[in-house]
Structure 1
Amino acid sequence: MIRFLKIVILIVIIFTFNISLAQDLADNQVDSVEQESKKDKNLKFSILGGPGYTPDFGALIGGSALFTFKTDPTDSLINRSNVPVGFAWLFNGGFNAIVRPQLFFNEDKFRIFGQFYIKDNQENYYGVGFETNKERPRGEATTQYAATAYQFNPIFLFRLGASDFFLGPQVDITSTRIRDPAELMVEDPYYIAAGGTAEGDRIFNSGLGFQLSYDTRDFPANAYSGVYFIASAVFYEKFFGSDYSFQSYQLEYRQYKALPFLGERRNLAWTVSSNTSTGNVPWTDMSKVGSPFDLRGYYLGQFRDKTTSYAILEYRHMLNFDHKTWAGRFFSKFGFAAWCGVGAVGPNPFDVEGWLPNYGAGLRIEVQPRMNFRMDIGKDPINNQTLLYFNMTEAF
């Protein structure tokens, strides 16, 4: 634990190098005309990065970048679009890059959301189900394999009249190439059923579907108030080019509540989400938890099955100092968050095989107005492990 805390402290020091914060220092040395010119710039970006360490991948060089802009600078009815990017080069070989854009167009009558990633690194497959995954040790002979994978998942949303509802199509294309699977992994029935051998496997799936959403958030990238609801379905079929025929469904509810009696920029956020797949679902595409956006503290994919669900309650607190001084402006960029939650995994929504408690806390650094870099430390009480996450924008 002491070694872990030392690593955390080192990473905090390195990652708090911030182009946005450095820019604030520079702003104090320019006159008011130059400051106004900077404010008028449409494209803004913030980058944090440096060497680090994570329990998932070991030593790495990585970081996060955030690009924000208005697709039409003259349009007062749209939010700033944001494109957060996470990237890492691993000392043991390989790399990861993920982009989760939120783009707003035409008086917010049209949106493009989604997720895109590409990676080439060592990953782990624990099996399917709760008991199997909980008891399986992580290691080269048990769970590890090399993977080259990508996902292309754009979502196109059109506002329904003057309402707060949006509806539109989505595409999901995933490809995973597995190499050097662990000995125990080669014996797994789900791996064998997907065509996996001792040499590896390649799985390609493509699907089409739709998403319906309801959105009253005051600011989508970091809401202080409002409701966000998502219902989506994606159908993967062989006539779309998919290797497997299955269906994926998602329901998610988020709500945000400002707490003005505690001061400005303090709020509660909570979410309840369920992901279910039916049909001939390969192990690579089963529902799973453990990402930086849900149960932080669990290894990604350690618990997977046809259904995963979770509920999270998070308190978010930014510091408020007098902005008339440089020190006040500087320290007002910092804050913290703390959360608790629980997840569930099973073969269907009505058959829960096991519960996944979760809690944690994290540092927040405002790199742009209402846009935060976050460093979260999450706890998995089931396996008594603690994991560290770096990301731009909030978890949900």
Structure 2
Amino acid sequence: MKTRFIFLLFAFVLFSLQEAGAQHHNFVSRYINKLLNDTTDASKPQFLLYPTLAYSPETNLEFGLSSLYVYYAKNDTTNRLSEINGFTFFTLENQYGLLFDHSLYSDKSRWFFLGKLRFQSFPMLYHGIGPDSPAEHLALVEATQIQVKERVLRQIRPNLYMGPQIDYQRMASVDFIAPTDTYVAEPAGSKGSANTGLGLGIIYDNRHNVLNVRDGLFSELALIRYDRLWNSDFKFTSILSDNRIYRPIGRSNVLAAQLIGQFSVGNAPFNQLALLGGESIMRGYYTGRFRDKNQLAAQVEYRFLPLPLSFSSRIGASVFASTGTVFSDFSHLNVKNLKVAGGGGLRYLLFPKKDIYTRADIAFTNEGTGFYILIGEAF
């Protein structure tokens, strides 16, 4: 497995603080002081912008810029915390991308907008389809990808939301690059496709802070249909079940658990199959290391927010473990195909007034390790 490292440049931040010294009017030092000391009023929006650096054999060096915007509707802290995450990058191999995620709540949580935007020219490793796909990737897939997904949900009862969703995914200029002496059977969608899905989602959500849930429940059931009637190249149905529970332990610790199922009926292209791995669930496995029509995965995490340390109230930690598998149909679901991963990490309380941590996690699998530095918990 090729491990991809992402480094949040807080070393630069700390260095700048030291260099600033008495230069209190320096813009950088004022920004850093505002960030680290969280001088913004708790009810006011906050915006964070920071550089990232990454490396992988497929991309060479990757330079990026990440952003986070959080706010309460009408500046009312009794409302739920809304967040918009952004990330843009380019690499020395002329690859680039623009990614946005958002979870937005209206006043009194009457409306809930949940969605994502992806536009990127970025390589992916294709290991094949199924739980027995080889550890060494079969091909490097280069393509331009676009995804626009949006869910517009209305509260119909306290904490219960329902509404339509739309998902548009396009993969173009696809090139499967395999070793010259290896034949790779190219999967459905290997020449590219454009698919539009329309569906309905129902969500129970009583979380107050989606970036760091200390007590709550989130449960989503969504069905989305991709059909030629609305200009999809492929015809299939996708069903998602995502269930998360969070329970406080003592004064500051949290026990969190998640169970996710993703199921496809019909002929889905390879890029829209269920993908196991990534920065959220089954950490330590490359995103899409295993892929198939269906997926079941679960994880549990214990968070110390913060650690009971005398020298700092902003340092936390976590330990986590996960298991999951992919399968073509339920007759091929086998406990012997379960993959396992686990690890731990440190937390830093970035915005104390909004209870938002940045995390640095390391995860281990029998194929290697993964290292992640991101703002907000994995789930």
CA distance in 2, matches of 1:340, 1:269: 11
Is 1:252 paired with 2:242? yes
Task: State the secondary structure of the residue aligned to 1:239.
Answer: helix
| Contact preservation (8 Å) 2:80, 2:208 | no
Select which of 199, 209, 212 maps to 1:209. Answer: 199
Is 1:153 paired with 2:166? no
> What are the within-5 Å matches in structure 2 for residues 36-55 of structure 1?
38-39=40-41, 42-54=44-56
What is the TM-score with the length of structure 2 in the denominator? 0.85
Select which of 283, 298, 301 maps to 1:296. Answer: 283
Q: Which amino acid aligns with 2:34?
A: Q
CA distance in 2, matches of 1:227, 1:17: 40
- Counterpart position of 1:393: 376
Select which of 264, 277, 282 maps to 2:264. Answer: 277
Is 1:231 paired with 2:221? yes
| Contact preservation (8 Å) 2:216, 2:246 | yes
| Contact preservation (8 Å) 1:211, 1:230 | yes
- Counterpart position of 1:366: 349
CA distance in 2, matches of 1:272, 1:143: 30
Is 1:123 paired with 2:113? no
What's the CA shift for 1:269?
0.4
CA distance in 1, matches of 2:249, 2:347: 18
Decide whether aligned partners of structure 1 residues 66 and 238 sit closer, same or farther in structure 2, where only a CA change above 3 A counts: same
Tell me the alpha carbon deviations over residues 67-86 of structure 1, each in whole angstroms, 9 at most, x when there is no partner: 0123322x454212111223
Q: Which amino acid aligns with 2:268?
A: V
Decide whether aligned partners of structure 1 residues 281 and 179 sit closer, same or farther in structure 2, where only a CA change above 3 A counts: closer
Q: Which amino acid aligns with 1:378?
A: A
Task: State the secondary structure of the residue aligned to 2:122.
Answer: strand
Q: Which amino acid aligns with 1:332?
A: S
- Counterpart position of 1:379: 364
- Counterpart position of 1:71: 73
What's the CA shift for 1:95?
2.0
CA distance in 2, matches of 1:392, 1:25: 14
Is 1:336 paired with 2:307? no
Gapped runs of 5+ residues in structure 1?
A: 28-34
Is 1:356 paired with 2:339? yes
Task: State the secondary structure of the residue aligned to 1:49.
Answer: strand
Task: State the secondary structure of the residue aligned to 1:221.
Answer: coil
Could you tell which deviates more after superposition, 204-213 or 12-21?
Answer: 12-21
CA distance in 2, matches of 1:91, 1:214: 43
Tell me the alpha carbon deviations over residues 14-45 of structure 1, each in whole angstroms, 9 at most, x when there is no partner: 58789876315677xxxxxxx6xx41773211
Select which of 154, 172, 175 maps to 2:170. Answer: 175
Decide whether aligned partners of structure 1 residues 210 and 294 sit closer, same or farther in structure 2, where only a CA change above 3 A counts: same
Decide whether aligned partners of structure 1 residues 310 and 12 sit closer, same or farther in structure 2, where only a CA change above 3 A counts: farther
Tell me the alpha carbon deviations over residues 291-331 of structure 1, each in whole angstroms, 9 at most, x when there is no partner: 21111111111100001111100011123689xxxx96xx4
Decide whether aligned partners of structure 1 residues 388 and 57 sit closer, same or farther in structure 2, where only a CA change above 3 A counts: farther
Decide whether aligned partners of structure 1 residues 349 and 226 sit closer, same or farther in structure 2, where only a CA change above 3 A counts: farther
Gapped runs of 5+ residues in structure 2?
A: 17-27
> What are the within-5 Å matches in structure 2 for residues 130-149 of structure 1?
130-131=131-132, 133=133, 135-138=134-137, 142-149=138-145
What's the CA shift for 1:64?
3.1
Q: Which amino acid aligns with 1:165?
A: L
Tell me the alpha carbon deviations over residues 76-113 of structure 1, each in whole angstroms, 9 at most, x when there is no partner: 54212111223332233212332220101131010101
What's the CA shift for 1:8?
8.2
- Counterpart position of 1:60: 62
CA distance in 1, matches of 2:85, 2:228: 33
Task: State the secondary structure of the residue aligned to 2:271.
Answer: helix
What's the CA shift for 1:216?
2.4
| Contact preservation (8 Å) 1:61, 1:88 | yes
Task: State the secondary structure of the residue aligned to 1:301.
Answer: coil
Two-structure CA RMSD over aligned residues (Å): 3.0
- Counterpart position of 1:23: 34
Tell me the alpha carbon deviations over residues 241-276 of structure 1, each in whole angstroms, 9 at most, x when there is no partner: 11000000011211101011xx42x11100011101
Aligned positions, number:
359
- Counterpart position of 2:23: none
What's the CA shift for 1:332?
2.5
CA distance in 1, matches of 2:42, 2:299: 38
Tell me the alpha carbon deviations over residues 324-351 of structure 1, each in whole angstroms, 9 at most, x when there is no partner: xxx96xx433322210010111012452
Task: State the secondary structure of the residue aligned to 2:338.
Answer: strand
